[in-house]
Amino acid sequence: MSTALVRVAHLAIGFGETVLQEDATFEVEQGTIFAILGPSGCGKSTLLRCLVGLDEPRSGTVAIGGVEPGPTRSGRPRFGVTFQSGALLGSLTVEENVALPLQEWTDLPLDAIGGIVAAKLRLVGLQRTEEQMPAELSGGMRKRVAIARAMALEPDLLFLDEPSAGLDPVSAAELDELILELNRELGLTFVVVTHDLESIFKIAGSCIMLDRATRSIVARGDPRLLRDTSQDPRVRAFFHRARQEVTP
Amino acid sequence: MTPSFTIQRIETGADRGELRLGGSLTLAEAGPLWEELRRLESSAARGQSLDFELSAVERIDGGAMALLACLRAELQRRGVRSEFVAAGERVQRVVHLYGGDARVARLRSRRPLGTFDQLGRATLAVLREVQLALAFLGQMTASGVALLRSPRSANWRELPATMERSGADAVPIVVLINFLVGLAMAFQASAQFRRYGANIYVADLIGISVSRELGPLMTAIVLCGRSGAAFTAELGFMRVNEEIDALRTMGLGPMRYLVLPRTLALVLVLPLLVLLADVAGVLGGLVVGVWNLDLTPRGYLNETIRAVSVWDVASGLVKSVVFALAIALIGCQQGLATTGGAEGVGRRTTAAVVTTLFTLILADAALTALFRLGGM
């Protein structure tokens, strides 16, 4: 029996007069790390925005856990999302950022929320940063805080938009380790949008690759297998360029 | 100073010529290089051939190569055959890098937009703005209703800080501006009143015009520049920085979390600031009355109290509530509609200030007419 957590069927996406993808269909299995790959401008981030309900697709359906991607009837979100820049609220401290969804969606007293926040920050390797402002953190630390905030309400599913963008190789590798650990230990499902193949080869069990010219999915499966066996020239060109970039 | 390059035009046949370049071609000497190249190639006509002979070039940098490639393309478009020839291995690599050995593409002439095209695009842009504003008002109304049903759902934590920034911090500038407005008006009026021996009526003029009209309007204009622009810039930056999207994914709508507290803060502080503005304006008139019109402070204030009715002050307060709504809602709507980067924030902030000022004047005129028609 299929254990798909995310089901996407015949999705068409775009903005203005530009069509980015015409008929995207795929599934994300529960407990896996799934990557959405492709060159810049192919619609990866737009697809993610449609998956999490921030943008409306032109046609097609998205189902997360069998229902549309919006929040629950009460408004409580059913999954976590992190954005390319981290998107922490600049006027709040790290602690206040992570506490925000808990204050909104639970009846816990402040000291209990503080305990949860401290535990989440410890989980992402950021002890003793509670009082710091986002502007005082490095790019990698901001993304870790964003992951802690996205995990605050204990979702089963996390969407990450370009998690390693703008990070140095060490910070990017640490973030990869964190994602793997959260997947392995907590069983979290990740949908990761990226063009950082080094990271994808390390963490993703399966992927789809979007193509800009044909506005379609041109490959799907294990990214390492695709790299080694795909005969599609677009897939080979994409992986070859990326391998040149990451191999000294 | 002698340039480090050489150029010669050599005629190699009836319709064939070469530009022989030598030495070091660099961007540092681009000016004289370009001037000399243009002088030598200007006589080349359609059907002729003019090649760039590079065998004596010792060094060429990217900037100089870009100039040569640009000139070759221009020659080919004029119908002059032109190629780079006899380049050494290193120079040839630069030629290849800059497309000097590639076919020159035809320039596509871009047709300028016609009047109807421009009109159509402008109309669509206006309709899009109207659609955004209506969607914003719809969401705002829905959030307002939800707030009435469940007052705890609002983001009250931000209210005191916003009230302080928009209200308390604006007191000095509001008081100063309204004091000076009262002072200037009293000066302008004093010459006329003195001519008719009606000095005391300057208190009536200042009291009524400040409380009904100038106090609310000047205060609203100050708040438009201070708080309205700040709301747009704050929300615009949050939008550009994906913070608004992050709030949405956490189930915290921007209306409830950001717009309502800001709107409520302005609706609460603007009437209070208008009361202060009224007092400051009257004091400005008092200064002129005492020093320029030989009135006593007591006489001036008694006349003001006699002339200004409760409704005069109340009508100013009613206006201030409408002005507060306009400033906050337009500022927030423009902020949430921001796209692009820093330039988008600047554009929306400008649009917010201009739209708000226009709306304030329009609302003021409409309310004044309404009150007068209603006999108030």
Q: Do the domain assignments include residue B335?
A: yes
Q: How far is CA B93 from the centre of its chain?
A: 47
Q: What pTM was estimated for this model as a whole?
A: 0.76
d(CA B244, nearest CA chain A) in Å: 8
Q: Which tokens sit at B25?
A: 């071609």
Q: Do the domain assignments include residue B18?
A: yes
Does residue B177 share a domain with residue B39? Answer: no
Say if CB A151 and CB A120 are below 8 A apart. Answer: yes
Rg (CA), chain A: 18
The total of other beta-carbon atoms located within 10 Å of residue A137's CB is 18
Q: Which of residues 186-225 of A touch B (CB under 8 A)?
A: none
Nearest to B216 by CA among B277, B286, B165, B305: B277
pLDDT tens digit string along B120-149? 999 998 998 899 889 988 988 888 888 888
pLDDT tens digit string along B13-45? 888 889 999 999 988 888 888 898 888 888 888
Looking at chain A, the number of H-run helices and the number of E-run strands are 8, 9
Distance (Å, whole) CA B58 – CA A198: 42
Mean residue pLDDT of chain B comes to 90
Query: The tokens 């302008």 sit on which residue?
Result: B188
CA distances B20 to A237, B7, B50, B360, Å, are 41, 5, 10, 70
Most confident of A59-68, B240-249, B252-261, B349-358: B349-358
The pLDDT score that the predictor gives to residue A248 is 35
Residue of chain A with shortest Cα separation from B248: A54
Does residue B309 share a domain with residue B175? Answer: yes
Does residue B214 share a domain with residue B355? Answer: yes
The pLDDT score that the predictor gives to residue A246 is 43
Q: Which tokens sit at A130?
A: 């509670």
The residue among B37, B71, B97 that closes a domain is B97
The partner residues of A14 in beta bridges, in order of sequence, read: A19
Does residue B148 share a domain with residue B92? Answer: no
pLDDT tens digit string along B358-375? 999 999 999 999 998 887
Q: Do the domain assignments include residue B133?
A: no
β-pair type (B49-60, B16-25)? parallel
Q: How many domains does chain B have?
A: 2
**Total CB pairs under 8 A between chain A and B:** 51
Which residues of chain A neighbour B250 with C-beta distances below 8 Å? 77, 100-101, 104, 149
- Contact partners, residue B102, CB within 8 Å, separation at least 6: none
CA distances B164 to A96, B178, B217, B250, B265, Å, are 21, 20, 21, 28, 9
| Contact flag B251-A105 (C-beta cutoff 8 Å) | yes
Does residue B180 share a domain with residue B63? Answer: no
Distance (Å, whole) CA B175 – CA A232: 72
DSSP calls for A13-62: EEETTEEEEEEEEEEEETT-EEEEE--TTSSHHHHHHHHTTSS--SEEEE
* Chain length of chain B: 376
The pLDDT score that the predictor gives to residue B280 is 96
d(CA B86, nearest CA chain A) in Å: 33
Between B70 and A74, the higher pLDDT residue:
B70
Q: Which tokens sit at A90?
A: 């600049």
B19-33, B86-100, B105-119: the lowest-pLDDT one = B105-119
d(CA A212, nearest CA chain B) in Å: 22
| Contact flag A71-B242 (C-beta cutoff 8 Å) | no
B288-323: string of b/e by CB count within 10 Å (b at 16+)? bbeeebebeeeebbebbeebbeeebbebbbbbbbbb
pLDDT tens digit string along B283-311? 999 999 998 888 999 999 999 999 999 99
The total of other beta-carbon atoms located within 10 Å of residue B255's CB is 20
Does residue B160 share a domain with residue B42? Answer: no
Does residue B317 share a domain with residue B170? Answer: yes
Q: Which tokens sit at B163?
A: 């009230």
Q: Which of residues 38-77 of A touch B (CB under 8 A)?
A: 49, 52-54, 71, 75-77
The residue among B97, B125, B154 that closes a domain is B97
Whether A230 has its CB under 8 Å from any CB of chain B: the answer is: no
The pLDDT score that the predictor gives to residue A242 is 52
The pLDDT score that the predictor gives to residue A72 is 67
CA distances A74 to A70, A71, A77, A99, Å, are 11, 8, 9, 19
Residue among B242, B248, B251 minimizing CB distance to A76:
B251
The pLDDT score that the predictor gives to residue A244 is 45
d(CA B356, nearest CA chain A) in Å: 26
pLDDT tens digit string along B170-205? 999 999 999 999 999 999 999 888 888 888 999 999
| Contact flag B245-A77 (C-beta cutoff 8 Å) | no
Say if CB A51 and CB A62 are below 8 A apart. Answer: yes
Q: Do the domain assignments include residue B355?
A: yes
Q: Do the domain assignments include residue B104?
A: no
Which residues of chain B neighbour A77 with C-beta distances below 8 Å? 249-251
Using the predicted structure, report yes or no on whether residue B1 has a pLDDT greater than 50. Answer: yes
Can you say whether residue B367 is alpha, beta or left, with left for phi > 0 and alpha for psi between -120 and 50 degrees? alpha
B104-141: string of b/e by CB count within 10 Å (b at 16+)? eeeeeeeeeeeeeeeeeeeeeeeeeeeeebeebeebbe
Does residue B296 share a domain with residue B163? Answer: yes
Average pLDDT, consecutive stretches of 10 residues, N- to C-terminus, chain A (248 residues): 83 87 92 91 90 91 82 76 89 91 87 88 85 89 90 90 84 88 90 88 93 90 90 84 47
The pLDDT score that the predictor gives to residue B294 is 87
| Contact flag A105-B243 (C-beta cutoff 8 Å) | no
Distance (Å, whole) CA B26 – CA B166: 57
Using the predicted structure, report yes or no on whether residue B376 has a pLDDT greater than 80. Answer: no
| Contact flag B249-A149 (C-beta cutoff 8 Å) | no
**CATH of residue B62:** 3.30.750.24
Can you say whether residue A86 is alpha, beta or left, with left for phi > 0 and alpha for psi between -120 and 50 degrees? left
Domain extent for B81: 5-97
Angle at A161 between CA B154 and CA A247, to 5 degrees: 160
Does residue B174 share a domain with residue B38? Answer: no
Which residues of chain A neighbour B238 with C-beta distances below 8 Å? 89-90
The pLDDT score that the predictor gives to residue A164 is 83
The pLDDT score that the predictor gives to residue A112 is 87
Does residue B154 share a domain with residue B22? Answer: no
d(CA A84, nearest CA chain B) in Å: 8
Q: Do the domain assignments include residue B118?
A: no
Q: Which tokens sit at B240?
A: 């550009």
Does residue B92 share a domain with residue B142? Answer: no
Distance (Å, whole) CA B252 – CA B242: 14
Q: Do the domain assignments include residue B168?
A: yes
Q: Tell me the helix, strand and coil percentages in chain A, rounded to 5.
A: 40, 25, 35
Does residue B199 share a domain with residue B71? Answer: no
Q: Do the domain assignments include residue B207?
A: yes
Which residues of chain B neighbour A89 with C-beta distances below 8 Å? 238, 243, 246-247
Q: Which residue of B121, B240, B250, B262 is the best one to mutate when testing the A interface, meaning the one whose CB has the most A CBs within 10 A? A: B250
Say if CB A102 and CB A117 are below 8 A apart. Answer: yes
Average pLDDT estimate for B65-86: 89
Whether A143 has its CB under 8 Å from any CB of chain B: the answer is: no
The residue among B46, B73, B97 that closes a domain is B97
pLDDT tens digit string along B46-57? 889 999 999 999
| Contact flag B252-A100 (C-beta cutoff 8 Å) | yes
